[in-house]
Amino acid sequence: MKFTLAKKSDLPALTRLWQRCFGDEPKEIEGFWSAVFDRILVYTAREGNTIASMACVLPTQYVDEEGESHSCGYIYAVCTDPLQRGKGLCKGLMEYIHKHCNLSYTALVPAEESLFAFYERLGYHSCFYHREYTVTPKKGGKIRPATPEVYRSIRELQLYDNFLSYEEFLLPCAGQLYRIETEDGLYCGCGYRKDKTLYLRELLPDSPEVASALCAYLGCEKAVVRTMGEDKPFGMLRSLKGGPLPQTAYLGLALD
């Protein structure tokens, strides 16, 4: 087994592997590669010339309780060819990433609950939590699409410590970005519409009234909002260089 970084010539094989594992349409996957491939790292495990497993490492920063930033890789789209599972490829690939990525921390969101135990054995700690609630539409506020620069600026004003900070080029990968202004203040929201439901991956600061306004703005029948809270373990963090791990932190824009 050989562990290597992917090259552009590997993109067709990476797309096929992604599709087999997650079922997304090739057009969606290719859009992701087109937007970010040159600015992220994609690690692979290979059996001969065949890519059997892969993991993307997206550049982020973990901001600690003192407000200091540390290099962090958000590990995304971890997958192994179904025909190659059971051989320890994912474990080996993750250990290779931890050794060679030269980062202070790595973060990830397990694709299903059963994987929390797997990542715990690899040194990850559950510290990102969230809760969800649902609202119906009600008009209000001044809403308009936000550029990644504007969104990041508003987002970082709301967050002070123990959170994951994203590079601007990654923000559109999480969904549509919005700037919302009300009499009470300035908000940012990120999400996507599916059928007649708005799925808000982030709303800062949290406000059911603003979620309802965004729901009405987009013509949806309801909005499902994911926000800060300690109801449910959501993501995990690992220290690679001995830095402290928080009990709780904020992840927000996970590309789940």
Q: What is the per-residue pLDDT across 72-101, written as a single tens digit (0 to 9) for each?
A: 999 999 999 999 888 889 999 999 999 999
Query: Which pLDDT band holds residue 49 (cuts at 50, 70, 90)?
Result: confident
Are 9 and 18 in contact by the 8 Å Cβ rule? The answer is no
User: What is the spatial distance between Cα 119 and Cα 126, in angstroms, rounded to a whole number?
Assistant: 9
CATH number of 2-124+235-239: 3.40.630.30
Are 68 and 31 in contact by the 8 Å Cβ rule? The answer is no
Produce one character per residue of 89-105: b if its CB has 16 or more CB atoms within 10 Å, e if not.
bbeebbebbbeebebbb
CATH number of 130-232: 3.40.630.30
| Closest to 93 in 3D by CA, of 126, 45, 60 | 45
Q: pTM to 2 decimals?
A: 0.92
Query: Which pLDDT band holds residue 47 (cuts at 50, 70, 90)?
Result: confident
Are 73 and 59 in contact by the 8 Å Cβ rule? The answer is yes
State residue 256's pLDDT score. 64
State residue 1's pLDDT score. 82
Torsion of CA 207, 213, 218, 223, to 10 degrees: 40
Output the six-digit token pair for 221: 């029948």
Query: Which pLDDT band holds residue 195 (cuts at 50, 70, 90)?
Result: very high
Output the six-digit token pair for 78: 């971890």
Q: Stretch 191-215: mean pLDDT, rounded? A: 96
Residues of the chain with CATH 3.40.630.30: 2-124+235-239, 130-232
State residue 230's pLDDT score. 75
User: What is the spatial distance between Cα 114 and Cα 46, in angstroms, rounded to a whole number?
Assistant: 26
Query: Which pLDDT band holds residue 48 (cuts at 50, 70, 90)?
Result: confident
